[in-house]
Amino acid sequence: MLTGIGLPPMNPKSFATQAITTLPPRPRFQRLLHEKLIQAAHDCPNHTALVTRGEQVSYAQLLDHVRRGAGAMEARGIQRGDRVVIYADNTMECVVGIWATLWVGGVFVVVNPQSKTDKLRYIIHHSGAKLLLADERLWPQFGSLLAEATPLDWVWCFNQDLQDKPDGHEGQAEDFWKVLAQQQPSTIPAAMTPVDLAALIFTSGSTGIPKGVTMTHQSMVFARDSLTEYLRLDADARILNILPMAFDYGLYQMLIAFGLGATLVLEQSFTYPGQVFEVMTKEGITVFPGVPTVFSTLLSMHQKTALCFPEIMRVTNTAAALPPGYVEKLRQIFPNALIYAMYGLTECKRVSFLEPEFIDLKQGSVGKAIPGTEMFLLSPDGAPVAAGEPGILHVRGPHVMLGYWNDPEATAKMIKPGRLPGERVLCAQDWFVMDADGYFYFKGRSDDIIKTRGEKVSPVEVENVLFSMPGIREAAVIGIPDDKLGQAIKAFVVLESGASIPLGAIKQYCATRLENFMVPQHIQTLPELPKTPNGKVTKKDLL
């Protein structure tokens, strides 16, 4: 049952300048994610931790916000193991919500702000979340849920203007910053172990139903430190993040920065590149993480007007391979940067990286296993494969997920018995080839999940929306190669007899029901879909 009162909006700066309360003891060891944040507040309290919307927040200020948020959660009964859903853009509130949840021993669940009501509802119910932290601008998507029976006990809003909402439920939401301002900071973090859950990261599955990847403190601390090691970063790094924190690639930019006591510069997206370029120059950015979509935009702009960012020391790419020819052009834009090609899965964060020194010699390779882990190839019947032969990728290491939240059937498809008694390894379900030097090359997916714009898209989820449109009888969705997007979404539809629907109307219908990255870029009508004798659509015949 939701509890709360409508409260007026508040400027967070009204208490940010108050005296910072005494810090909890400096942790001798960092086994839990938030222990690095405490350490940084001790070691460099005045160093800038976060820059967002032009506001700079020091480590001491950030930890004070986090502890107030944690105190408010404790006062409302949020405790070890409870799930907190954060439905927001890349904002300071999102950052504070994540770390406050960790402080009380909770499990954070960041939901992409592009997600619509149905998906948000499913995640809230499936995770059993007790608290929703949401940006008020997303009220059209989450406001109706306040009238429904959900596991939620509390809703906190920010950027709030909850007057005269048409559904009349504004009184059930509390103002985030007002809550923090009225709350004494929590004194010490909840008692936890490294094998406690830290996060549920929802990713699309082949069934069209989002799956919650369960990640412990231990797995996330290990992944963070392994990434930091091979990227050769230190506390002087100034990391730009234009990727949503619901996407683990975006989330780990924050974890790496705070793990180092470095600075994270948080931007909403790359929608307005000119604004991002201004921020990069003003803030002295040294690390630029991107996906092929971002780099394609950069190169297109570079062709018209030369771009050059000599202060960037690291450029990283994942989600899809960089098309041939991109690396040499990126060197013109980032002349002093080490350029990293990488491959990863949400289920273990990162699998491999290619050393920048080998990016020309091993073109097209995703490199070798990240430090402290192992990757190897097996045939479908479980036998090792020789160099040069295709095999299914398997991953060993502390970074592998426990499984999917409350989904043992899906877990069994990805987590397999390992070499040692009781060991479990991740079966990536992707085909690779390893060369004689031990470098891996991606060859294809064994399922039909589409990777576009750095996001995983289930064709079934898009097909279900198409099926719901009056006048559409059948639909099939596939991914097709696209230099800019990695893969573009293409939909094939069969109309009802006598129906006539403009393709633009189909795209608009999808846009009102799906995240932007899930809307098909291409739509084609067919008289019939190709099928097997038993009636199953054969998508390979659509390629």
Question: How open is the CA angle 28-348-409, to the nearest 5 degrees?
Answer: 125
Task: Based on the fold, state whether residues 353 and 415 are members of the same structural domain.
Answer: yes
Number of H helices, E strands in the chain: 15, 26
- Residue 172 contacts residue 136 (beta carbons within 8 Å): no
The whole-angstrom separation of Cα 391 and Cα 182 is: 57
Query: Following DSSP, what letter does each residue of 248-261 receive, concatenated?
Result: HHHHHHHHHHHHHT
Residue where a domain stops, chosen among 393, 428, 445: 445
Looking at residue 142, which CATH number applies to its domain?
A: 3.40.50.980
Q: Which residues contact 372 (CB under 8 A, 6 or more apart)?
A: 222, 226, 397, 398
Residues 397 and 423 in one domain: yes
Q: Specify whether the CB–CB gap between 86 and 254 falls below 8 A.
A: no
Backbone angles phi, psi at 127, to 5 degrees: -80, -20
Report yes or no on 348 lying in a domain.
yes
Same domain, 151 and 283: no
Q: Is 43 in a helix, a strand, or coil?
A: helix
Q: Are 272 and 407 in a shared domain? A: yes
Distance CA 83, CA 105 (A): 9
Q: How many domains does the chain have?
A: 3
Rounded distance, CA 523 to CA 426, Å? 35
Residue whose tokens read 């097909």:
463
Per-residue confidence in pLDDT tens, the chain, 543 aa: 465 433 334 455 555 545 566 788 888 888 999 999 999 999 999 999 999 998 999 999 999 999 999 999 999 999 999 999 999 999 999 999 999 999 999 999 999 999 999 999 999 999 999 999 999 999 999 999 999 999 999 999 998 654 555 555 556 789 999 999 999 999 999 999 999 999 999 987 666 788 999 999 999 999 999 999 999 999 999 999 999 999 999 999 999 999 999 999 999 988 899 999 999 999 999 999 998 888 888 988 998 899 999 999 999 998 777 777 789 999 999 999 999 999 999 999 999 999 999 999 998 899 999 999 999 999 989 999 999 998 999 999 999 999 999 999 999 999 999 999 999 999 999 889 999 999 999 887 777 788 898 888 888 889 889 988 999 988 999 999 998 899 999 999 999 888 999 999 999 999 999 999 999 999 999 999 897 655 568 887 888
Distance CA 31, CA 398 (A): 13
Final residue of a structural domain among 421, 445, 469 = 445
> Do residue 250 and residue 393 come from a single domain?
yes
CATH of the domain at 409: 3.40.50.12780
Residues 6+ apart with CB under 8 A from 109: 83, 84, 85, 86, 123, 127, 129, 199, 200, 201, 202, 212
Question: Does residue 27 belong to any structural domain of this protein?
Answer: no
373 and 496 assigned to the same domain: no
Query: Would you say the C-alpha torsion 90, 93, 96, 100 has a positive or negative sign?
Result: negative
Q: Are 176 and 238 found together in one domain?
A: no
Judging by DSSP bridges, how do beta strands 83-87 and 131-135 pair with one another? parallel
Are 365 and 233 members of one domain? yes
The parent domain of residue 261 ranges over 218-445
Q: Please, how many CA atoms are within 13 Å of residue 141, restricted to the half-sphere of its CB? A: 25
Local structure of residue 145 (DSSP, 8 states): G
> Do 259 and 401 fall into the same domain?
yes
Query: DSSP class of residue 367?
Result: B
Considering the domain architecture, whether residues 441 and 454 belong to the same structural domain is answered as no
Do 491 and 476 contact (CB within 8 A), yes or no? yes
For residue 5, being part of any structural domain is answered with no
Burial class (CB in 10 A: 0-12, 13-18, 19+), 325: exposed
Closest to 276 in 3D by CA, of 224, 312, 252, 234: 312
53 shares its domain with 89: yes
Tokens of 451: 């990777």
For residue 458, give the CATH number of its domain.
3.30.300.30
Q: How far is the C-alpha of 68 from the C-alpha of 179, rounded, in Å?
A: 8
Beta-carbon neighbour count of residue 278 at 10 Å?
Answer: 11
- Identify whether residues 230 and 373 lie together within a single domain: yes
For residues 59 and 26, give the distance between their C-alpha atoms in angstroms, rounded to a whole number.
14
pTM score: 0.87
